[in-house]
Amino acid sequence: MPAHNRARDVAVVARARRRLYPEGVTTSPRSDLALYLHIPFCTAKCGYCDFNSYAGLEHLVPDYTPALVRELELWAPAAREFQVRSVFFGGGTPSLSSIEDLEAIVRGIRAHYAVAQDSEWTLEANPGELTLEHLRGLRAIGLNRLSIGVQSLHDDELQLLDRVHDAARAIEAVEAAREAGFDNLNLDLIFGLIGQPLERWQQTLRRAVALRPEHLSCYALTVEPGTALYYQVAKGQLEPPDPDVVADQYEWTRSFLAEQGYRHYELSNWALPGRECRHNLVYWHAEPYLGVGAGAHSFFAGQRFANVDAPNRYVELVNASYEERQATGGGQLRQIHGGETPDEALLLSDAMILGLRLMEGVSTQAFEARFGVTPEAVFGAAIERHLATGLLERAGDRLRLTSRGQLLANEVFVDLLPEEAAGVSTTG
Ligand code: SF4
């Protein structure tokens, strides 16, 4: 967080705590809500990973699960007018959690929140932990979707990524998930690996598609600052991914998955018809979500905020909030450590950038109905520029990325950031 924002953010968080708790928010009855639960524990830290995840903190698990259930309870008054349509256990490695711990969390959600009958319950899982018995336990407590971190189906690439499973184990895990009754599977894959030629990626994707998952997330490897991979590249020990090869891999992925019946619905996501990830669509539609757990982010009651990252600190702060509530019936949500009330310019920019990540793009009518202003009135110069560069196109009432624009999406997005949008007004 930039230092100059710090004072403002502290003030905003204090205001958010007062506004959100304990009186709650007033919304139309049963607005939809997505719930995200962060489980930050991993068996080892992968070299490319910049998520809020930790190896060697298993001793915190017995305190972490009750704290997470308490945080759910703390938020319940503010969320009472909402209906939960999706629940997503992310991490970290949620599949490391015992069935008993996950069941306690599921019970906490069902006890304190209105949950839609057809809700989607996803758990992120690493192949190494997915035994048939564990998978049957996950089904028994109500999880109905798995997102399996396969990443590659070549053992040497998995080693390069520091993953603890091999390709055979990944395939066994998918087969065991089917046997346990999961009929909605996502496989996470990474392309653009260092030194990975097109053919190697093609082999991985062909083998993954042969397993007929309902959904595929294919992300290009990014070298994130602060990761072990970043320092190896910075020291010249590893070459960064070749952007031309990455572009070839992405283009081939689009055409191959289209042939195989998968609909490309978001820049990095493909699904069989009707199997798009309902939870992630909430993010791309810039709709409300509540994140619970260490480092979890939220966009709720018109505010963005995040919990403290460190799991031990998170447990202490949730417990302090909970005890205060028990004693006084009120108090603060102390685990929140950063946030902002997005101004109109930021809300519009987010809605535009996130919406353009979707292949259907942004409906100008829906945008105007939601914000009281057309995209053209806010981003007119940027839209005209990228219609001319061929990165954007119109399709009826929609603005969307072109095929080339999908490869160069960041060039469009940077021009849609608030400081680039001249004359923002939602009243005109
Ligand atoms: S298993 Fe996933 S969350 Fe954990 S360190 Fe590896 S990439 Fe990060």
Residue 421 has pLDDT above 70, yes or no: no
Residue with tokens 């590249």: 233
Using a 6 Å cutoff on CB, does residue 49 contact ligand 1?
yes
Quick one: CA torsion of 125, 129, 133, 135, rounded to 10 degrees? 10
* Per-residue pLDDT band at 190 (split at 50, 70, 90): very high
Q: Within this chain, do residues 30 and 141 fall inside the same structural domain, yes or no? A: yes
pLDDT tens, position by position, 103-133: 999 999 999 999 999 999 999 999 988 999 9
**Is there a domain that residue 262 lies in?**
yes
Q: Which residues have CB under 8 Å from 243's CB, separation 6+?
A: none
Is the distance from CB of 167 to CB of 197 less than 8 angstroms?
Answer: no
pTM: 0.90
Residue 326 has pLDDT above 60, yes or no: yes
**410: how many CB neighbours lie within 10 A of its CB?**
9
Residue 67 has pLDDT above 70, yes or no: yes
Confidence of residue 240 (pLDDT cuts 50, 70, 90): confident
pLDDT tens-digit readout, 135-149: 999 999 999 999 999
What is the residue range of 387's domain?
344-420
pLDDT band at 405 (very low <50, low <70, confident <90, very high): very high
Residue 297 lies in a domain: no
Query: Which ligand 1 atom minimizes the distance to the CA of 92?
Result: 3
- The answer to the question of residue 177 being in a domain is yes
Nearest CA to ligand 1 atom 8: 49
16-20, 311-315, 331-335, 382-386: lowest mean pLDDT where?
16-20
181 domain residue, yes or no: yes
DSSP labels, 185-231? EEEEEEES-TT--HHHHHHHHHHHHHT--SEEEEEE----TTSHHHH
- How far is 43 from 54, CA to CA, in rounded Å? 8
102 lines ligand 1 (CB under 6 A): no
Q: Which of 284, 316, 332 is the last residue of a domain?
A: 284
Q: Which residue has the higher pLDDT, 63 or 331?
A: 63
Shared domain for 125 and 38, answered yes or no, is yes
The residue behind tokens 């600190």 is: 313
Domain C-terminal end among 284, 304, 330: 284
CATH number of residue 356's parent domain: 1.10.10.920
Indicate the residue among 237, 261, 284 that finishes a domain: 284
Q: Are residues 148 and 43 in the same domain?
A: yes
Alpha-carbon gap, residue 242 to 198, rounded angstroms: 11
Judgement on whether residues 76 and 215 belong to the same structural domain of the protein:
yes
Does residue 397 belong to any structural domain of this protein? Answer: yes
With bands split at pLDDT 50, 70 and 90, how would you rate the model's confidence at 8?
Answer: very low
Distance 300 CA to ligand 1 centre (A): 27
Residues 244 and 358 in one domain: no
DSSP state for residue 140 in the 8-state scheme: H
Q: Please work out whether the CB of residue 227 comes within 6 Å of at least one atom of ligand 1.
A: no
pLDDT at residue number 5: 36
Q: Is 252 in the pocket of ligand 1 (CB under 6 A)?
A: no
Is residue 425 predicted with pLDDT exceeding 70?
no
Q: What is the pLDDT of residue 330?
A: 86
Pocket mutation for ligand 1, best pick of 53, 97, 129, 188 (most atoms within 8 Å of C-beta): 53
Residue 339 domain-assigned?
no
Q: What's residue 216's pLDDT?
A: 98
Is the Cβ atom of 207 under 6 angstroms away from ligand 1? no
- Residue with the smallest CA separation from ligand 1 atom 6 is 46
Q: Does 279 share its domain with 406?
A: no
User: How far is ligand 1, taken at its centre, from the CA of residue 204, in Å?
Assistant: 20
Judgement on whether residues 141 and 226 belong to the same structural domain of the protein: yes
State the distance from the centre of ligand 1 to the C-alpha of 333, rounded, in angstroms. Answer: 28
Distance from Cα 114 to the centre of ligand 1, integer Å: 31
Distance CA 335, CA 313 (A): 8
The mean-pLDDT minimum among 157-166, 177-186, 311-320, 400-409 falls in: 157-166
- Tell me the mean pLDDT in the region 271-289: 96
Residue nearest to atom 2 of ligand 1 (CA): 92
Q: Give the Å distances, CA to CA, from 278 to 86, 103, 164, 303, 406.
A: 7, 22, 29, 22, 22
The rounded distance, in Å, linking the Cα atoms of 311 and 326 is 22
Percent of the chain with pLDDT over 90: 78
Residue nearest to atom 7 of ligand 1 (CA): 49
Residue 14 lies in a domain: no
Return the C-alpha torsion angle 381, 385, 388, 394, nearest 10: -60
Tokens representing residue 239 in the block: 């070459």
Tell me the pLDDT of the chain averaged across its residues. 90
* Whether the Cβ atoms of residue 401 and residue 391 lie closer than 8 Å to each other: yes
Q: Is the confidence at residue 188, as pLDDT, over 70? A: yes
CATH number of the structural domain spanning residue 62: 3.80.30.20
**What is the per-residue pLDDT for 31?**
87
- Measured from the CB, is residue 219 less than 6 Å from ligand 1? no
- Secondary structure of 313-364 in the HEC alphabet? HHHHHHHHHHHHHHHHCCCCCCCEEEEECCCHHHHHHHHHHHHHHECCCEEH
Average pLDDT over residues 142-162: 95
Query: Is the domain of 37 the same as that of 141?
Result: yes
The whole-number average pLDDT for the span 10-25 is 38
Ligand 1 atom closest to the Cα of residue 124 is 2
Ligand 1: residue of 41, 46, 124, 217 to mutate (most ligand atoms within 8 A of CB) is: 46
> Cα separation of 100 and 115, whole Å?
20
How many alpha carbons fall within 13 Å on the CB side of residue 293?
A: 22
Q: Does 91 sit in the ligand 1 pocket, CB within 6 Å?
A: yes
On whether both 392 and 261 belong to a single domain, the answer is no
Cβ 53 under 6 angstroms from ligand 1: yes
How many domains are there within the chain? 2
| pLDDT tier at 6, thresholds 50, 70, 90 | very low
Q: Is residue 107 part of a domain?
A: yes
45 lines ligand 1 (CB under 6 A): yes
Q: Are residues 201 and 275 in the same domain?
A: yes
Give yes or no: residues 354 and 279 share one domain: no
DSSP single-letter state for residue 34: E
Within this chain, do residues 267 and 404 fall inside the same structural domain, yes or no?
no
To test the pocket of ligand 1, the residue of 38, 41, 51 to mutate (highest count of ligand atoms within 8 Å of its CB) is 51
Tokens of 407: 């490869």
Q: How far is the CA of 167 from the centre of ligand 1 (A)?
A: 17
Q: Which of 111, 144, 109 is nearest to 293 (CA)?
A: 109
